[in-house]
A and B are shown apart, each in its own frame.
Chain A
Amino acid sequence: MNWLRDWMLPGQNSAYTRDYDLMFMSIVGLCAFFFVLIAVLVFFFIIRYRRRENAGPTPHITHNLTLELVWSIIPLIIVIGIFFWGFHNYMNAAVAPGDALEIQVTGKKWLWTFEYPDGMRTINEIHVPVGRAVRLIMTSEDVIHSFFIPGMRIKQDVVPGRYTEEWFQPDKPGTLQVFCAEYCGKSHSQMMAKIVVDDAAKYAEWLEKGDEFTQTAPLKEVGQRVWENRGCKECHSIDGVKGQGPSFKGIWMKMEKMSDGKMVQVEANYIRESMMYPQMKVVAGFEPIMPTFQGLLREREMLGVIEYIKSLQ
């Protein structure tokens, strides 16, 4: 019956999907049995007992206790069995292992954003290593959405004002489709994401180099996205207004005075040093509170920040 399972269900991508599919196909078999039973009886009866005008009166059979008990109790036992099976599988699906890779998921009309433990953020795509449990901790910024991974047989509603969770453990490389599965308005049908399951080598490369956007988009756009998503904009404006840190507007190639009195030109090396070792040269008039981004930004992302600042004249 594997051909039937492969026709009815998406590919199997984890141990859980194999458990799920076994249960699903068993219920298919059960339903097929009872449906065929009902259909055969209906067709047999309408032919065998079709109206004959010279037939005598029909037998006056009002009940049969044995028969009624049998067809009440046997189905009851069957469905209680299915209840326990479904409950058991559900408890496996509901509780993530302790060493899972945790990814924060935020749904909002009509896209998904993801944040890794190291602060890396992506939109509509995540990469995960094969063989490791992944735990998604999810919330919504607006209406109820739902994060549905058919290839893992799981979904969970994503609700504003609280966190919900689901987890999975892919056992082979590949790409998993994600759909939004709670109606959320105009572009509900397009609120999709992808989970790319990488083998260890590719995953390490992705961690180092980033997603496709980071690897191929023009540097200025990469930089802008870093500024938006990685915490820069909380302190550094782009419109000239002073914040916790200096505004980026118009600073490229400017001569700035540091807190120790020295004059420094704002060029590529200075910007890079500020991201890696922010306490080395602090602009006068600002507190030395910038955190380091060492290990949190990729090469191309840093180059992108430099290009972005260049563009803010």
Chain B
Amino acid sequence: MDWIYTVDHKRIGLMYLWSILLFFFVGGMFAMLVRTQLLSPKGSIMDQETYNRVFTLHGVIMVFLFIIPSIPAALGNFVLPLMLGAKDVAFPRMNLASFYIYVVGAIIALVSIVTGAVDTGWTFYTPYSTTSNASVSMMTFAAFVLGFSSIFTGINFIATVHKLRAPGMGWFDMPLFVWSIYATAIIQVLATPVLGITLALLIMERAFSIGIFDPAMGGDPVLFQHFFWFYSHPAVYIMILPGMAIISEVIPTFSQKTIFGYRAIAFSSVGIALIGFLVWGHHMFVSGQSPLASSIFSFLTFLVAIPSGIKVFNWLATMYRGNIKLDAPMLYACSFLLLFGIGGLTGIFLGSIATDVHLHDTYFVVAHFHYVMMGGTVIAFLAGLHYWWPKMFGRMYSESAARVSCALIFVGFNMTFLSQFILGSRGMPRRYATYLDQFQPLHQFSTFGAWIVGLGFFIMAGYLFASFRNPKNAPPNPWGGKTLEWEALSPPITHNFHDAPIPKHGPYDYRPNPAPIGSDH
């Protein structure tokens, strides 16, 4: 019960973890409904107006209630202070407040769902969203509230990284997880307010017809798209950077080898965060945006791809001549390299204006973003979940069950979404409740894949919950990691460490005689 007013970052992290896992399940159920409906063009299980709500809710729940908070608020909260050798984050009460705000936002979203839900797509484009009679204002208000949860987390992490590092730990002695979470926090703080204002304007347009998006009153519906994507593009970097953060931890540990290109990875995280603010117009190439603006956005979009590529090569180089153990976290990290690889590469089709025109608003885009968000972020989240599970709960899970789950998810995921690239390039538009007969075989293949993914997650829920029946005897460092969280107990004591730790070596120094911290730059 005292968890309700806890200010312990570990407990807040766990409360976030259960919450985001719950919403991942809910959003996943909506996905199953979507895919099952699309087994047949006749629409197997629901009418079109219901389908429009179901696909919208899948997106809204997954984006705002699951993926944006997931890694930073659940895993980041738990692990970040430990990695820095700190007792907690800089502002523990603000941390609890951010969780409560999340809960309030989630409740408002649930109210919206039961009072008419939303049928606008998670992107809420005007004028459809200003004129739909669904519960749009309530849901956008929920997203508005949830934004503050994200902002508070960002503020907290920035202050923590600046001020609470262990003695001797300079910026280039921090784990790369910290660098990426820090870059994410910058985006959270700078971009989320823009979403808040945009949604507030949408609500005001619905309530008071202020006309900002209404051409009949001199407004511009495309202006909404600019406002919306100014946040929502950086938002996708809020989603992927923490995933990359985890990969930067898992690969060195399971290769027992120092990370290749520490500085390149650190700077690329910050570079992605900053350039990510300049590319939003690549969502709008066919919106009526001028060719000049589209060209600039296209060029910058290609630039932002380079740091991500650099990271992938650095991770591969880390594995070279390593001593690799393929436990579940590493299986997920290797999956990430393949799946995020596909996701990132298919972004090339979409960053190039001409090729994007044909593919925009088709299943190709749906496939691309599922490869980066699910094949990227979710897979990385699972890597982190399995990596820090013993640290968080003091227990190990069944490794063999974990491998079965990983295989099912990997195979099912590719079945679900590889087929969608082809659906898209062949001209199948997205957000369709029904479709022409010619598209049915690929849709069916995709749906079968979705069921396999679902099975994989079902098994995962089983073995993770079952792990709580194992004895609480996980060692402090089951994987041989070199970052400070592995010097704490599993789970850590309330104040994390008995005495404030003074790191003796760098975070990725696997040498038998590691160099003192700070000397390895």
Contact = CB atoms under 8 A, between A and B. Distances in A.
Interface string B324-361: 11100000001001100110011011011111111011
A10 B427 contact: yes
A46 B349 contact: no
B348 A186 contact: no
B52 interface: yes
Most-contacted residue by chain B among A58, A87, A91, A142 (CB, 10 A): A58
B357 A49 contact: no
A98 interface: no
Given A143-B131, A160-B127, A71 B338 contact: no
Contacts of B299: 80, 83
B338 A51 contact: no
A190 B325 contact: no
A62 B316 contact: no
A87 B121 contact: no
Contacts of A184: 128
Interface stretch (B71-79, B150-158, B409-417, B431-439): B431-439
Given A23-B352, A23-B354, A79-B305, A155 B360 contact: yes
Band of interface residues on A = 35 or more
Interface stretch (B242-250, B257-265, B383-391, B491-499): B257-265
A57 B511 contact: yes
Interface in A89-110: 89-91, 93-94
Contacts of A153: 357-358
Interface string A286-297: 000000000000
A20 to B, nearest CB: 6
A146 interface: yes
A7 B309 contact: no
Contact of A45 (B52, B306, B319): B319
Interface stretch (A34-42, A236-244, A254-262): A34-42
Interface string B290-316: 010011001100110110011011101
Interface in B238-285: 255-264
B298 A181 contact: no
B324 A46 contact: yes
Nearest to B340: A38
A156 interface: yes
A201 interface: no
Contact of A27 (B256, B314, B348, B510): B348
B294 A90 contact: yes
A181 to B, nearest CB: 4
Most-contacted residue by chain A among B259, B349, B358 (CB, 10 A): B358
A143 B262 CA distance: 49
Contacts of A150: 358, 426-427
A75 interface: yes
A236 to B, nearest CB: 29
A280 to B, nearest CB: 42
Contacts of A71: 309-310, 313
Interface residues of B, number: 91
B15 interface: no
B361 A146 contact: yes
Contacts of A179: 427, 429
A83 B298 contact: yes
Contacts of B436: 177
A24 B429 contact: no
Nearest to A26: B355
Contact of B322 (A35, A49, A156, A160): A49
B49 A59 contact: no
B287 interface: yes
A159 interface: yes
A188 interface: yes
Contact of A144 (B128, B216, B306): B128
Contacts of A155: 286, 357-358, 360-361
A57 B426 CA distance: 51
A259 B310 CA distance: 85
A39 B261 CA distance: 20
A1 interface: no
B316 A42 contact: yes
Interface string B53-87: 00000000000000000000000000000000000
A30 interface: yes
B516 interface: no
A199 interface: no
Contacts of A72: 306, 309-310
Nearest to B294: A90
Interface in B33-55: 48-49, 52
Nearest to B514: A60
A51 B319 CA distance: 11
A179 B423 CA distance: 14
B348 A68 contact: no
A187 interface: yes
Contacts of A90: 291, 294-295, 353-354, 357
Nearest to B222: A159
B298 A144 contact: no
A31 B345 contact: yes
Interface in A156-193: 156-157, 159-162, 164, 177, 179-190
Contacts of B321: 49, 58-59, 61
A108 to B, nearest CB: 12
B295 A87 contact: yes
A177 B427 contact: yes
Contacts of B342: 31, 35
A82 B425 contact: no
B302 A189 contact: no
Contacts of A61: 257-258, 260, 317, 320-321
B520 A181 contact: no
A46 B316 CA distance: 10
A49 B323 contact: yes
Contacts of B312: 38
Nearest to A143: B128
A1 B63 CA distance: 38
A146 B326 CA distance: 47
B21 to A, nearest CB: 28
Interface string B413-451: 000000000100111011111111000000000000000
Interface of B: 48-49, 52, 119-121, 125-128, 131-132, 215-216, 220-222, 255-264, 286-288, 291, 294-295, 298-299, 302-303, 305-306, 309-310, 312-314, 316-317, 319-326, 334, 337-338, 341-342, 345-346, 348-349, 351-358, 360-362, 422, 425-427, 429-436, 509-512, 520
Given A35-B342, A49-B255, A82-B351, 20 more contacts: A10-B427, A20-B354, A27-B355, A31-B346, A46-B319, A58-B256, A59-B321, A60-B511, A83-B302, A87-B295, A87-B354, A89-B353, A89-B355, A93-B357, A143-B131, A154-B358, A159-B221, A160-B215, A181-B361, A189-B429
18 contacts: A30-B348, A42-B316, A45-B316, A57-B510, A58-B257, A60-B510, A61-B257, A61-B260, A63-B260, A64-B317, A79-B348, A87-B352, A90-B354, A91-B291, A143-B131, A150-B427, A154-B358, A189-B432
**Nearest 5 A-B pairs (CB), nearest first?**
A161-B215, A150-B427, A86-B352, A89-B354, A58-B257
Interface of A: 7-10, 20, 23-24, 27, 30-31, 34-35, 38-39, 41-42, 45-46, 49-52, 55, 57-64, 67-68, 71-72, 75-76, 79-80, 82-83, 85-91, 93-94, 142-144, 146, 148, 150-151, 153-157, 159-162, 164, 177, 179-190
